[in-house]
Structure 1
Amino acid sequence: MKSIKTPTKESNAFWEEQLLTEKIREKEFRVAKNIILSANIPHHTISEEELSELWNKIEKSNKQKPLQRHSRLIQFASVAASLAILFALSYTFWSKQSNNDSSLISIAKSMQIQGDSSAVQLILNNEKNITLDQENVTIEYNATGDVIVNKQQVAHNIASNTNGPAQLAETNTYNQLIVPKGKRSSIVFGDGTKLWVNSGSRIVYPISFEKDKREIYVEGEVYLEVTKDKSRPFIVSTNKMNIAVLGTSFNVTAYTSDKEQSVVLVTGAVEVKTDSNKKIALTPNNRLTYTGGQLDVENVDASLYVSWVEGLYIYNSEKLGTILDRLSRYYGKTITYDARVSELRCSGKLDMKDELLDVLAGLAQTAPITWQYNEIENELCITYK
C-alpha cells in the first residue's frame, strides 16, 4: 500500500515487472490500485480472523508451488500478501457500495473535483491538470499516445484509448474532462470514437480501453459517434444507467441536478440498463427517459435533440422553464423565473452562437415574457408580461 500511496522509481519498476511478466493480473491490479488511491478506507475493514485466513491461504499456496530459489519465494510471498490484502480491502470497499455501481462509477465518484472553475479542465492520470479557458476545446488522442488540444500537443506518450494494452501510470489510470457551464468541448479517442461534450458536464475515461470493452462515465450531456468494434462494446455509464453499443450515434443527458435522464438514438442500436435492473433496446429515433425509477420510450425526431452540437436549440412544445434552464447551463448565466413563466409552452429554433440577450429577444417574440438584469445578484430575471 505504501508503494502505491507514495511510489518511488524502484516500486514502480517492481510493479511494472510483475505486470510485464504476467505474474499478476493487470485488470485486478489497476482496480485495487485505484481504490487505494481514491478511497478513504477505514483501518478496521479486515478483522484479525480474516487476515489470519489470508496468510494461511498464501502459505498453503506457496507450499503447493515451491519456487527454485529462496529469494524468489520471499519476493512472491510478499507480492501475494500485498495483493491479497489489497483485494480483500477492495472487496470490503465495493461491498459497501450500491450493488448497481460498477467499478468505474465508484472511481468517478471518488474523483470529484472540489470547488468551481470557469475554465475547461483536462486532468491526466488524476495528476496533471491542464486548464483551458477557450469557449470550445477540442481534444484528440492519437495512436502514439500524444494528447493534442486545439491542434497543440500538451502531453506526450500517455497511454491513449487505442487497441494496445494499458500502460502503468504513476498515480492513476483514468483521465477526467470537466466542462463548466458556458463552455463546450469534444474528444476524439484513439479508436476514432468522437464525443461532443455540452456545458456543465464531466467525463471520466481510462487512459487505455480494455481488451473486451470501452467504458466511460458521463455526468451532463454528450453526443457520441462510436466507432464499430464487435469485440469491444462501448459502454456509457451514468449514475443511473448503462448504455451499451457496438457502433452507433446517440445522445445522453444525465445531469446529476436533474431528476430525468435520457437517451436519444440517432443511428444503430443501443441497450440501456438502469440502476433498477430494467433493460430495454432502442431503435433509431427512440427517446428513452428515466425518472424516479420509471422508464418511458417515445418516437421523436432525433435531430432535434442533437442540434446543440451545431450550436442550435430546436424545441417543439417545450416548457419555457426547461428552455431557460438549458440556456442558463449553455451560457453559464443564472436565469430565474416564476411558475407562470415556467409552464408556458414554446416551439421554435434559437441560434446559441448569438449573445444570450439576443437569444432572449428572439424567444420573447414567441412568448409573453420580459426580463431585467439584477446587477447585485448577477442574474437575469424573467417575468410574465
Structure 2
Amino acid sequence: MEKKDYTNYSAEQLLEDDFFLESFSKPTPDSLSFWVDQTRGNEVLTKEVAYAKIILRSIPYRKRIFSSDDKELLWMRISETNHRKHLFRYWYSSVAAAAVLLILVVGGFYYTDYYAKDNLTAIERVQRPEHSVETIQLILADEKKVNIEEEDSRLQYSKKGELHINTQKVDIPQKSTDTNKQGQKNPVYNQLIVPAAKRSFLELADGSKIWVNANTRVVYPVTFENKKREIYVDGEIYIEVFPDKERPFIVKSEKMDIRVLGTKFNVSAYAANKESSVVLVSGKVNVQTDNRSESVLEPSERLSYGKGSTDIKKVNVENYISWKDGFYTFDNECFSIVLDKLSDYYGKKMAYNAEVGALRCSGSLNLSDDMVKVLNGLESTMPVNFTIEREYISVIVKP
C-alpha cells in the first residue's frame, strides 16, 4: 500500500481522494489498519474522517463511485446552503443530529423518491456466489441450489408460483417474505446464474418472459409486490414485459435502472464492462443512470452509457437481440464490438489494439459452436490471427 500522510486533510480533501473513497466503498484489512494508524492520537483528523463518512453514507448505496463532477456538485450544494461549517461544529456535540441535517442538505440533492425506498437497495444487496459455475444454476431464497444440466434451460413459474424446469414441475417450498429482527417482512429473492457459452429462458409468475445470455445473473423475488415488479441484472437479457398498469416493471443494474409498464427490450449491463446499453424493440422505456441523467427511448433506439456520458441512436434491433435465437448477427460492425460480445459470451478476455478494433465485420456467428470453431471461422474471413493464452486471447492483424 502506498504510504501517504493525511494528517492535515480536511473532509473536503478526503472526499476528493481516490484512496479514501476506495477504502470506504471496498474496505480491506490493510486499509482499515491504515486509517486506524492515521487517526490514532489525531482528534482533528478523526473528526474530519467521521464527517466525510457521514456524507458518504447519506448517498444511495448503489452510488459507489464519485466522478469529478459529483464531487464538484456535492460541495457546490453544501456551499450554497452556507451551513457546512455550522453542521461540522454541531457534529461535535451531537453526531445523530448532525447526521440528520447532513442528510437533509446533501442527501436531499442525491435522493429521489425512486431511490429512497428500501426495496430498491435490498435486491441489489443480494450477493453473487463466490465461485463460478459450469452449469446453469438456480439459487433459491433458502440458498438451496438447483443445477440444470440442459444446454438451453426453460424455467417457468405459474401464476401460483409453482416452478417448472423444462416442463417438469419442481417441488420446492417457497417463501415470499422473510422476517427481520425488528419483525418487519422483507421480500426474498431467487438467483438464476447462467455461465459462459450457455443461455436460458425464464418466465416469471406475472407472465413476463426473459431470455438470459451467457455470463449473466438475474435476481428476482419469489413473488412481486402489489405496487411494483423489480428484478436485478448483471449481464445481458432480452425481456418481454407483461403489461400491468398498476405495477410498473423495473430492471435494475449496477449503472442504470429501466422503468416500463409493458414492452420489449434488450439490456446489456455486465458489471465488468465499461459500457451498458438498452435497445428498445417496442413500447417505451425510461432509463435512469447513476449520474442522475434520465432518458426516454422510442422503438429502434439504443442508449449506451459509459464514462458518465449517455448516447442515443437509431439501430437495427435484430443485430442486438438475435443472440436469443442462438446467433450473433453483425452488419458492417466495428470488429471491437464483435470481439467484446464474444468475450462476454465465452468468458474469455480479448486483447487487441486499435487497428484490430477498427476493422469492419458483417455476418452471423452460431452460438451453438464452441469458441475455437467460432475463432477459426473468423480467421478464415477476417485478416486476423487468434492466439489462445491461459488468461486471454490475443488478436492481431495478419502480417
Normalised-by-shorter TM-score class: 0.5 to 0.7
Measured against aligned partners, the alpha-carbon deviations of 1:37-90 in whole angstroms (never above 9, x if no partner) come to xxxxxxxxxxxx999xxxxxxxxxxxxxxxxxxxxxxxxxxxxxxxxxxxxxxx
Q: What is the match of residue 177 of structure 1?
A: 192
Once residues 172 and 162 of structure 2 are traced to their aligned partners in structure 1, the CA distance between those partners, rounded to angstroms, is 4
* Identical amino acids, percent of aligned pairs: 41
Q: Report which stretch shifted further, 98-107 or 322-331.
A: 98-107
State the shift of 1:316 in Å: 2.7
Consecutive unaligned residues of structure 2, counting only runs of 5 or more, are 1-60, 62-93, 97-102, 181-185
Secondary structure class of the residue paired with 1:108: coil
1:371 correspondence with 2:377 = no
Match of 1:258 among 267, 273, 283: 273
Change (3 A) 1:273 1:334: closer
State the shift of 1:255 in Å: 0.5
The answer on whether the counterparts of 1:140 and 1:188 sit within 8 Å (CA) in structure 2 is yes
Secondary structure class of the residue paired with 1:306: helix
Q: What is the match of residue 155 of structure 2?
A: 139
State the shift of 1:173 in Å: 1.1
The answer on whether the counterparts of 1:126 and 1:172 sit within 8 Å (CA) in structure 2 is no
Secondary structure class of the residue paired with 1:265: strand
1:204 correspondence with 2:227 = no
Once residues 226 and 246 of structure 1 are traced to their aligned partners in structure 2, the CA distance between those partners, rounded to angstroms, is 7
Aligned pairs, how many? 292
The answer on whether the counterparts of 1:244 and 1:271 sit within 8 Å (CA) in structure 2 is yes
Once residues 200 and 109 of structure 1 are traced to their aligned partners in structure 2, the CA distance between those partners, rounded to angstroms, is 19
State the shift of 1:328 in Å: 3.0
Once residues 354 and 95 of structure 2 are traced to their aligned partners in structure 1, the CA distance between those partners, rounded to angstroms, is 58
Once residues 131 and 169 of structure 1 are traced to their aligned partners in structure 2, the CA distance between those partners, rounded to angstroms, is 28
Q: What is the match of residue 307 of structure 2?
A: 292
1:341 correspondence with 2:389 = no
1:353 correspondence with 2:368 = yes
1:230 correspondence with 2:245 = yes
Once residues 293 and 241 of structure 2 are traced to their aligned partners in structure 1, the CA distance between those partners, rounded to angstroms, is 23
The answer on whether the counterparts of 1:217 and 1:238 sit within 8 Å (CA) in structure 2 is yes
Once residues 315 and 221 of structure 1 are traced to their aligned partners in structure 2, the CA distance between those partners, rounded to angstroms, is 17
The answer on whether the counterparts of 2:330 and 2:364 sit within 8 Å (CA) in structure 1 is yes
Once residues 314 and 180 of structure 1 are traced to their aligned partners in structure 2, the CA distance between those partners, rounded to angstroms, is 21
1:383 correspondence with 2:396 = yes
1:112 correspondence with 2:128 = yes
For 2:386, give the aligned amino acid: W
Match of 2:167 among 147, 151, 155: 151
State the shift of 1:283 in Å: 0.9
Aligned pairs for 1:24-173 within 5 A: 99=111, 103-158=119-174, 166=176, 173=188
TM-score w.r.t. length of structure 1: 0.67
Measured against aligned partners, the alpha-carbon deviations of 1:320-354 in whole angstroms (never above 9, x if no partner) come to 23312322332344544444323322222222223
Once residues 381 and 276 of structure 1 are traced to their aligned partners in structure 2, the CA distance between those partners, rounded to angstroms, is 34
Moved over 6 A (4+): 169-172
TM-score w.r.t. length of structure 2: 0.65
Secondary structure class of the residue paired with 2:150: coil
State the shift of 1:302 in Å: 1.1
Q: What is the match of residue 318 of structure 1?
A: 333
The answer on whether the counterparts of 1:145 and 1:157 sit within 8 Å (CA) in structure 2 is no
RMSD: 3.2
Secondary structure class of the residue paired with 1:145: coil
The answer on whether the counterparts of 1:125 and 1:169 sit within 8 Å (CA) in structure 2 is no
State the shift of 1:106 in Å: 4.8
